[in-house]
Amino acid sequence: MFLKTKNAKGHIGIALHDGGVVIGQCSWKNGMYSHPQVAHIEQNPRCLTAECWRSFLNQSSMLGSECVISIPPSVAQHQVLRLPNMQTSELKEAASWEMADRLGVERNSLQMDAIPVGSGGDVLAIAIEQTMLTELLDPLYAAGMRPTVIEPSCISAARTLSMLHRRQSDGEIVRAVFDFGMHDSSFMVLAGDSLVFYKHLKHNGLQLIDSVASHTQVTKEQAKRMLENSKVNDIEDDVSKAVRDATRANHEAIATDAMKCIRHYGVTNRGPLSTKLIVTGSAGWNPYLAKALSDACSQKVVSDNAISHVHTLPEEVISIGGWHVALGASLACLSQRRKRRGSDVTIKEAA
pLDDT digits (tens, 9 = 90+) for 252-264: 999 999 999 999 9
Task: Tell me the pLDDT band of 6, cut-offs 50, 70 and 90.
Answer: very low
pLDDT digits (tens, 9 = 90+) for 206-227: 999 999 999 999 999 999 988 8
Task: Tell me the pLDDT band of 171, cut-offs 50, 70 and 90.
Answer: confident
Q: Is the pLDDT of residue 348 over 70?
A: no
Question: Which domains, and CATH codes, for the chain?
Answer: 1-164+313-351 (3.30.420.380), 169-306 (3.30.420.40)
Task: Tell me the pLDDT band of 343, cut-offs 50, 70 and 90.
Answer: very low
Encode 91-129: b = buried (16+ Cβ within 10 Å), e = exposed.
Answer: bbebbbebbbeeeeeeeeebbbbbbbbbeeebbbbbbbb
Tell me which of 61 and 249 has the higher pLDDT: 249
Q: Is the pLDDT of residue 2 over 50?
A: no
- Per-residue model confidence (pLDDT) at position 270: 75
User: 117 pairs with which residues across the strands?
Assistant: 122
**Average pLDDT of the chain, as a whole number:** 87
- Per-residue model confidence (pLDDT) at position 15: 95
- Per-residue model confidence (pLDDT) at position 235: 64
- Within 8 A by CB and 6+ apart from 297, the residues are 176, 255, 258, 259, 262, 277
pLDDT, mean of residues 4-20: 74
Task: Tell me the pLDDT band of 346, cut-offs 50, 70 and 90.
Answer: very low
pLDDT digits (tens, 9 = 90+) for 15-34: 997 668 999 999 998 889 98
Q: Is the pLDDT of residue 190 over 50?
A: yes
Global pTM? 0.88
Q: Is the pLDDT of residue 349 over 60?
A: no
Task: Tell me the pLDDT band of 294, cut-offs 50, 70 and 90.
Answer: very high
128 near 71, Cβ under 8 Å?
yes
- Per-residue model confidence (pLDDT) at position 345: 41
pLDDT, mean of residues 190-216: 94
Task: Tell me the pLDDT band of 347, cut-offs 50, 70 and 90.
Answer: very low
* Residue length of the chain: 351
- Per-residue model confidence (pLDDT) at position 335: 64
For the chain, the first-to-last Cα distance in angstroms comes to 18
145 near 173, Cβ under 8 Å?
no
pLDDT digits (tens, 9 = 90+) for 311-328: 999 999 998 989 999 999
- Per-residue model confidence (pLDDT) at position 323: 94
Q: Is the pLDDT of residue 344 over 60?
A: no
pLDDT digits (tens, 9 = 90+) for 120-144: 788 999 999 999 999 999 999 999 9
Long-range contacts of 52-60 (CB under 8 A, 24+ apart): 52/139, 53/139, 53/140, 53/143, 53/145, 54/143, 54/144, 56/23, 57/12, 57/23, 57/143, 57/145, 60/23
329 near 70, Cβ under 8 Å?
yes
User: Ranked by mean pLDDT, which of 8-17, 175-184, 233-242 comes out on top?
Assistant: 175-184
Maximum Cα–Cα distance for the chain, whole Å? 58
- Per-residue model confidence (pLDDT) at position 89: 83
